[in-house]
């Protein structure tokens, strides 16, 4: 069915997953019916309303932001450049997703427990962020040097251009790989509104640099500056959340003295 089949398949998969989740929730509610108090549920829903209020549009913004480069590169430079960019990004992102998907679940649980118990989130943040940077550093350096040759050898000479793009996208991917604790800890710190504003700024700056590059730069130059922008924005995000956690840790230490 082509593109329509892919879209319908993805929609049906999400619907089935939601129905399965509802089946589990319904079973749990029956078993714990006596412990369910609708007044308490309404109270908690109001207290944590910032999650659906800002996280839902934030996810939409992220989806637009991730898909925007392919559309704009295709518009300015043609489908070949857009395809090479998308292919290079996908090859880099695949092993990252394989590692980060389970890490997000474990880290979010650990961080939530630490926060609820009044523990030191700042130390956990430093250790996990630094650990991710250490894990990613050597592979990124190797791929930065050899990406064009690796892509040519694995996928054919016609994909060398994708390897050239991937080389520069590694700047962005390196810090994106390392910012997972920042995103998770920001939610624990109830920074949903500020994250939404930050993502709006990210989308605006990405659109601006892609448009400017489309009019005045070559495809490679545009991708390099786009990756550098991603690197800078994610460093800002990591620094921002790290600073919040640092001051929060200072307050905790003062209160316990």
Domain boundaries, the chain: 1-36, 50-256
What are the residue ranges in the chain where pLDDT is below 50? none
> Residues 213-257: pLDDT tens digits?
999 999 999 999 999 999 999 999 999 999 999 988 776 666 555
Per-residue model confidence (pLDDT) at position 210? 96
**DSSP letter string over 27-42?**
HHHHHTGGG--HHHHH
**Biggest distance spanned by C-alpha atoms of the chain:** 66
Using CA atoms, how far apart are residues 145 and 62, in angstroms rounded to an integer? 29
Residue 253's pLDDT is what?
64
Instruction: Give the Cα separation of 160 and 170 in Å (integer).
Output: 15
pLDDT computed for residue 152 by the predictor: 94
């Amino acid at each position: 069915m082509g593109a329509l089949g892919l879209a319908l398949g993805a929609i049906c998969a999400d619907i089935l997953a939601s129905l399965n989740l509802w089946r589990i929730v319904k079973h749990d509610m029956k078993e714990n019916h006596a412990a369910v108090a609708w007044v308490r549920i309404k109270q908690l829903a109001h207290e944590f309303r910032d999650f659906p209020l800002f996280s839902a549009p934030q996810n939409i913004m992220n989806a637009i932001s991730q898909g925007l480069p392919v559309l704009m590169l295709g518009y300015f430079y043609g489908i070949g450049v857009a395809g090479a960019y998308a292919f290079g990004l996908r090859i880099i992102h695949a092993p990252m997703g394989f590692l980060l998907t389970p890490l997000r679940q474990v880290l979010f649980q650990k961080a939530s427990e630490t926060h609820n118990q009044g523990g030191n989130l700042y130390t956990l943040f430093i250790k996990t962020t630094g650990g991710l940077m250490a894990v990613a550093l050597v592979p990124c350096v190797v791929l930065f040097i050899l990406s064009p040759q690796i892509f040519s050898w694995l996928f054919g000479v016609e994909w060398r251009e994708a390897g050239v793009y991937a080389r520069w996208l590694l700047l962005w991917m390196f810090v994106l790989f390392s910012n997972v604790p920042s995103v998770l800890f920001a939610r624990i710190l109830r920074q949903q509104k500020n994250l939404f504003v930050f993502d709006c700024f990210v989308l605006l700056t990405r659109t601006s640099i892609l448009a400017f590059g489309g009019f005045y730069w070559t495809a490679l130059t545009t991708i390099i500056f786009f990756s550098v922008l991603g690197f800078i924005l994610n460093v800002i995000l990591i620094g921002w959340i790290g600073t919040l956690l640092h001051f929060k840790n200072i307050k905790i230490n003062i209160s316990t003295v």
